[in-house]
Amino acid sequence: MKLAIVGAAVLWGTAGTAGLLVTGVDPISIAAARLVIGGLVLAVAAGAAIRALPRRGLLVAAAAGVAAYQLCYFAAVSRTGVAIGTVVAIGSGPIFTGLLSWLADRVAPTRRWAGATAAAVAGCAVLTGGGGEARADGILLALLGGLIYAGYAVAAARVIGAGASSDAVMGAMFGGAALLMLPVLIHTGAGWLADPRGLLAALYLGCATTALAYFLYGRGLRATPVATAATLALAEPAVATLLGVVILGEDLTPLSAAGLLLIGGSLAAVALPERAAVNTATAPLNKLPS
């Protein structure tokens, strides 16, 4: 099941390269189109199973969180730059997830998870370089985005852990987010979808990097603690970097290579099974997961 989480992260990592097919378009409009298309696909695929879901109030809040994360992330990037905004938002997500799952399940994260997560976040920071202005408002928005991500990840984990279908949970969350983001797409302008390149990019972003990715993430959450899943998702920036080198011809500096190795080693440490004694201690979290 951890491979499903990594598979989702790999798909997320392709989003930036796919987005290059669209030029001169508001990034918020692209993000809105991605959620509207992906959420619709997930909701249709889940079908009537959504109606049987428990804890609908929690899922409604989670759907709002999915939409709010996008807005927080782009607002943060616009204020403090892509590098800092990405590191703070993506890097803080696993930390907040670990803390929230600890509060919810009363089971402390393992030392291995804490060390590997810290190393992976450091690797992400090395990869992105650090360009931009460290404005307080941008950093706070990025941290808020990381907290929101953790909130909807833990919410999904709890509903799936209670026995609900992961496909239905993701369909409900992202279908709801699609409804919330549709007015944003209309407001920011959807005319670029009439262009074949724009439509192709939007379909890939929606169907592959959202629908398929969160389908895999939900499946992974069935047997993977949500804090571990959040850390494994840090494979996303590593994949994006490798695609930049292989497809876009970007240079791989020694510092970037070190960041990739740091992330790779950290994810390997998280993916390895814990000792039996530790597994027993973390059993309640595994019952609870994206």
**Cα–Cα distance list, 240 to 16, 73, 77, 228, 245 (Å):** 7, 17, 17, 21, 9
Amino acid at 278: V
pLDDT tens, 124-180? 988 877 666 778 999 999 999 999 999 999 999 999 999 999 999 999 999 999 999
pLDDT tens for 173-183 read 999 999 999 99
CB atoms within 10 A of CB 101: 27
| pLDDT exceeds 60 at position 192 | yes
Assign 109 to helix, strand or coil: coil
**Distance between CA atoms of residues 198 and 19, nearest Å:** 9
H/E stretch holding 289:
none
pLDDT at 273 over 60: yes
Q: Which of 233, 251, 234 is nearest to 242 (CA)?
A: 251
Residue 260's alpha-carbon distances to 12, 124, 247, in angstroms, are 16, 8, 17
- What pLDDT score was predicted for residue 256? 87
Domain boundary assignment for the chain: 2-287
Of the candidates 89, 62, 191, the one whose C-alpha atom is nearest the C-alpha of residue 146 is 89
Give, in order, the Cα–Cα distances in Å from 257 to each of 35, 120, 128, 240: 32, 13, 12, 13
Q: Which of 106, 73, 163 is nearest to 281 (CA)?
A: 106
Whether 148 contacts 92, CB under 8 Å: no
Q: pTM for this structure?
A: 0.89
What is the model's pLDDT at position 131?
A: 62
